[in-house]
Amino acid sequence: MLRNIKIALCLVFALLISVQVLADVWVDEISAKKGEDLKSFLSLTQKYQEDNWLKVNSKISKVVEAESGKLGNGAIVQTSSTASGGKVVSGFNQPGSYIEWEFEAPARGMYEFWFKYSLPDAEAEPIVLDITVDGKHQFIEMTDIHFNVVPYASALETLERIEPASDKDNGVPFGFIMDKGKHKIRIDNLSGEFELDYLRISGAVKHFFFTQGENYAAGSSTLKKVSRIAASRGKAVSGFENPGDFIEWKVNVPEDGLYAIFFRYTLGDRSVECVRKVQLNGKTIYPDWDEVHFYPTDGWSEKRNDWKERRLEDPETRQPYFIYMPKGEVTIRMEAVSGPLEIDYVGLITRDGEIKGELNFWDYLRLLWHQIISFFISFN
Ligand SMILES: [Ca+2]
Ligand SMILES: [Ca+2]
């Protein structure tokens, strides 16, 4: 009897211990999910630099088909003749739907995640996702990633988009850090609906291209081409100052993505305020594009290089405006509200693009020639 009591006591004791151990594990798991000490992506920038998490080479670009992932809670694979790999994931439309991919990172570093998707209709609500890498959120925004909030030009309206997982207010892509090797990337639906074609995991996307200001597609009869120092191709467009005067340029977009518009300009007249109205594909994308202010450059590049660049940006935050543009041609229109302005070129640039190569060999030679001539003039 005594032995039986001892055995019973031992069993109860063992049971109590195992319950305690299990409870600890369970509590740990819960707190690991709920108690992540998350900071914003921006506030981690310094730490990432110190820990040597650099952006991976911009040539790295891997496509992970949505349909290759493990799907759950309603998400299903569907055939689609226009999609990459002939398939998409649909049914990703309820909280709890998820897709999980295995991804082999080719190098240690910071990656951008781009999502190629199509919306159910033009008025679709933003889709909101939770993203984890190896079961973890690296920064607080990963718990709340918004798509379909970046504006785009109506003439290009399409239900298909490719967008980075980005800051929803300005479209700046987030960087996700990964060591070289295998990783699990998972998205969970929080709200909204889209059909996902693929995920592109890449280095920073760099694009920069432009059209010569003087090679405009349409414009007022007052426009003229002028020769200017240090202008790309030696020329710029002028004669553009009476209210209503306009210029339209066509620019070719090489790849679907988010682009900011910029101009290389001179404004040598401080006495008048220079204001322009800007449209993309016939649409005023941001209200303040009705009154874009240009600041004096203190010369028209007649005697020296007075050219300045400016991107269209939010006048308060000074953050450039990024707009979704699919591959193909876009039309940029500028209309004079007041003041004169000369434009050397107009272009598009991605977040990590660099403005370079605006002058070719002949432009530099011309600039050098001019400097030699002016040296002799001043010498005499
Ligand atoms: Ca696909
Ligand atoms: Ca030019």
Structure confidence at residue 29 (pLDDT): 41
In the chain, the percentage of residues whose pLDDT exceeds 90 is 58
Residue 171 lies in a domain: yes
Q: Are 103 and 201 in contact (CB under 8 A)?
A: yes
> Ligand 1 center to residue 87 CA distance, Å?
4
* Residue 191 sits in the same domain as residue 215: no
Query: Do 201 and 327 touch, CB atoms closer than 8 A?
Result: no
The 10s digit of each residue's pLDDT in 105-142 is: 999 999 999 999 998 887 888 899 999 999 999 999 99
Q: Which one of the ligands is nearest to 342 CA?
A: 2
Q: What is the mean pLDDT of the chain?
A: 87
Same domain for 267 and 197, yes or no, is no
Average pLDDT over residues 75-104: 93
Check whether residue 157 and residue 215 sit in a common domain.
no
Domain span at residue 109 reads 41-202
Ligand nearest to the CA of 198: 1
Looking at 147, 174, 202, which one is the last position of a domain?
A: 202
The CB-based long-range contact list for 11-17 (8 Å cut-off, 24+ gap) reads none
Which residues are CB-neighbours of 196 under 8 A, at least 6 positions away?
Answer: 66, 88, 89, 92, 99, 115, 116, 117
pLDDT digits (tens, 9 = 90+) for 313-322: 998 888 889 8
For ligand 1, the distance from its centroid to the CA atom of residue 361, given in whole angstroms, is 44
| Residue 160 alpha carbon to ligand 1 centre in Å | 13
Residue 128 shares a structural domain with residue 86 = yes
Residues by chain with Cβ below 5 Å of ion ligand 1:
65, 83-85, 87, 197-198
In the three-class reduction of DSSP (H, G, I as helix; E, B as strand; rest coil), residue 138 is classed as: coil
- Report how far ligand 1's centroid is from the alpha carbon of 63 (Å): 9
Within 8 A by CB and 6+ apart from 236, the residues are: 213, 214, 225, 226, 228, 266, 301, 342, 343, 344
pLDDT category of residue 307 using cuts at 50, 70 and 90: very high
Q: Do 214 and 185 reside in the same domain of the chain?
A: no
DSSP state of 319: P
- Selection from 100, 360, 318, 327 nearest residue 207 by Cα: 327
**Do 84 and 214 reside in the same domain of the chain?**
no
- pLDDT digit string, tens, across residues 38-47: 899 989 999 9
195 bridge partner residues: 118
In the reported structure, the alpha carbon of residue 14 is separated from the centroid of ligand 2 by a whole-number distance in angstroms of 83
Q: Which pLDDT score, from 0 to 100, does residue 35 have?
A: 60
How confident is the model over 215-229, as pLDDT tens digits? 999 999 999 999 999
Residue 20: inside a domain: no
- Distance from the alpha carbon of residue 371 to the mean position of ligand 2, in angstroms: 19
Amino acid identity of residue 356, one-letter, is K
Q: How many CA atoms lie within 13 A of 146 on its CB side?
A: 13
Say yes or no: 175 and 282 in one domain.
no
Within this chain, do residues 307 and 176 fall inside the same structural domain, yes or no?
A: no
29 located within any domain: no
pTM for the whole structure: 0.76
- Are 312 and 369 found together in one domain? yes
* Per-residue model confidence as pLDDT tens digits over 271-293: 889 999 999 999 999 999 999 99
The CATH number linked to 258 is 2.60.120.260
Does residue 17 lie in a domain region?
no
Max Cα–Cα distance, the chain, nearest Å: 124
Both 92 and 239 in one domain: the answer is: no
The span from the CA of 68 to the CA of 99, in Å, is 9
Ligand 1 centroid, distance to 84 Cα (angstroms): 4
Q: Of 202, 228, 256, which one is at a domain's C-terminal end?
A: 202
| Ligand number with the minimum distance to the CA of 237 | 2
Domain contains 375:
yes
Q: Are residues 153 and 115 in the same domain?
A: yes
Bridge partners, residue 357, by sequence: none
Distance 188 CA to ligand 2 centre (A): 48
Residue with tokens 């935050």: 317
Beta 208-212 vs 342-349: how paired, if at all? antiparallel
Ramachandran category for residue 109: left, alpha or beta (phi over 0 → left; psi -120 to 50 → alpha):
left
Within this chain, do residues 70 and 175 fall inside the same structural domain, yes or no?
yes
pLDDT at 32 over 80: no
* Greater model confidence, 191 or 34: 191
Q: How many domains does the chain have?
A: 2
Domain annotation covers residue 1: no
DSSP 162-213: EEESB-TTT-PBP-EEE-SEEEEEEEEEEE---EEEEEEEES----EEEEET
Cα(199) to ligand 1 centroid in Å equals 9
Residue 14 lies in a domain: no
Within a domain: 217: yes
- pLDDT number for residue 171: 76
Tell how far the Cα of 311 is from the centroid of ligand 2, in angstroms. 17
What is the CA 273 to chain-centroid distance, rounded?
A: 32
> Of 185, 202, 219, which one is at a domain's C-terminal end?
202
Residue 229's closest CA among 262, 268, 261, 263? 268
Which ligand is located closest to the Cα atom of residue 81?
Answer: 1
Which pLDDT belongs to residue 168?
A: 82
- Asked whether residue 1 carries a pLDDT value surpassing 60, the answer given is no
Distance from Cα 53 to the centre of ligand 1, integer Å: 30
Residue 105, beta-bridge partner list: 181
> What is the 135 CA–ligand 1 centroid distance (Å)?
24
